[in-house]
Amino acid sequence: MAGGMSSGALPKAEILMFANDAPTLRPGTHVTGLDLVRFLAAFIVMIYHLYFWKNGDISEAAGDFSHVWWFGWIGVEIFFVLSGFVIVFSAQNGSAWTFCRRRVLRLAPTVWLAATTSFAAMIILANGAQESDILPRYFTTLGLLPIGRPIDVVYWTLQVEVAFYILIFVLLHSFGLRALTPAMIALGLISSVFVLFVAAANLYPQYLPSRFVVLAHSLGAMRTTRLLLLQHGCFFALGATLWALSDDRKNRLLLVATALFTVVCTLSVAASARMYIVEHHPNGVILLSPMLIWLVALAAMAAFIFAGSGPLASPRIAPTIRLLGLLSFPIYLLHNNCGLLISRSFARLGCPVEIATPFAIAIVLALSLLFVKLLDPFVRDRLALVMERASRGVRSVQRRQTAD
């Protein structure tokens, strides 16, 4: 935002940058293929929640079609790698406070709109079954803080993301850009130790002392270890090292770190898959399903980053792919509570579940498109103006204090 603009409006190019949050290698280079990966990750998470998980209401029927989608949780891990890539790039362009401002402008409008939509859906469609703490949860979500219970369980990933943003802000503010890559490698190593500890307990419990296994399971289920980035730091670090490697492909340290984090993240996915089957015992599933999706997604990300997006980057196709990337965030925030409540409302009206759930998905997609095309830009423009005026006010007070 240019300080000399008399109207206080945000330049159009900067507004678009906040809106797109583009996966980029360097200024002017957009990795279009990563938008497609991001959309597909959001889509499989939505299918998983609406067909299989259903807020814990898992079908026990053998051969139930819903069990086909048990692996959809892997989309979250894919999100974290993409976030590590995008956020480290975003941090290259400006100060710590500029980074903070951009993150707020990127997240806040969509979160506020999605949380408000979920709040309204829970009041109107829950058939009197809404929880008593819904209002505090709503305001907790609006605050964008990694504490408290949010309006929808899927927001736990947003809280982890915010914890990662706080780490990036502290690094930029205290040490500058030069600290980012070493810090991301350090984060990845620390997280890798934790992840391997938990993975060993999940994959080979028969070879380990029972106390070791119990401790690993307890730590792996703790919200604190999530917010400290112990559980998912290696995924963010993998994305960060992929970005650094794209700019310095012969750096041996980056090559080794990227390879190590790839192995650790894959072991984490394998351990999570095994534990998931133990805890939820879905019928007739293939243990390797999430690992295959993970490896295909990771290979696609690497190909897009290092070899380009190919035909996806053509002028005819790229705008559609970019739109799909933008849709991923509202889809993720809206699909669980809103999608389930809409589907169950149709079912109460006598609509078969085979029709009700696709209807709910269509409505979530339509709402997401409305957010991206109309509501998000409207809220973001006004939030940017408020932030600019507040910034000018602070600078004015500082100038007066200096003059005095």
Encode pLDDT of 51-80 as tens digits. Answer: 888 876 665 443 455 667 788 999 999 999
Percent of the chain scoring above 70 in pLDDT: 87
Percent of the chain scoring above 90 in pLDDT: 64
* C-alpha–C-alpha distance, residues 212 and 97, integer Å: 43
Q: Is 14 exposed, middle or buried (0-12, 13-18, 19+ CB in 10 A)?
A: middle
Dihedral of CA atoms 388, 168, 89, 374 in degrees, nearest 10, equals -40
Tokens 């993970």, residue located: 294
Average pLDDT, rounded, for the chain: 87
Residue 64 within a domain = no
Domains: count for the chain: 1
Mean pLDDT, to the nearest integer, of 76-100? 92
Q: 48 Cβ partners below 8 Å, 6+ apart?
A: 69, 70, 71, 72, 73, 75
Residue 319 has pLDDT above 60, yes or no: yes
Residue 400 within a domain = no
Residue 1 has pLDDT above 60, yes or no: no
* Choice among 88-97, 102-111, 135-144 with the minimum mean pLDDT: 88-97
Q: What are the strands, taking DSSP E only, across 140-257?
A: none
pLDDT at 62: 39
Residue 15 has pLDDT above 60, yes or no: no
pLDDT at 12: 35
Tokens 């219970």, residue located: 149
Residue 181 within a domain = yes
* C-alpha–C-alpha distance, residues 10 and 384, integer Å: 7
Handedness of CA 376, 328, 322, 24 (dihedral sign): positive
Residue 184 is which amino acid?
Answer: M
> What angle in degrees, to the nearest 10, is found between the helix axes of 74-90 and 96-125?
150
Residue 71 within a domain = no
Contact between 115 and 138 under an 8 Å Cβ cutoff? The reply is yes
Q: 311: which 2 tokens? A: 């035909």
Encode pLDDT of 128-168 as tens digits. Answer: 556 678 899 999 999 988 888 999 999 999 999 999 999 99
CA angle, 395 then 396 then 401, to 5°:
95
Residue 16: count of CB within 10 angstroms of its CB: 12
* C-alpha–C-alpha distance, residues 223 and 217, integer Å: 12
Mean pLDDT, to the nearest integer, of 280-292? 76
Residue 166: count of CB within 10 angstroms of its CB: 16
Residue 17 has pLDDT above 90, yes or no: no
Domain, as residue range, for 84 = 12-53+76-388
pLDDT at 8: 35
Residue 187 within a domain = yes
Q: Which residues pair with 24 in a beta bridge?
A: 30
Place 28 in a pLDDT band, splitting at 50, 70 and 90. Answer: very low
Residue 402 within a domain = no
Residue 167 within a domain = yes
pLDDT at 393: 81
Q: What are the strands, taking DSSP E only, across 43-105?
A: none
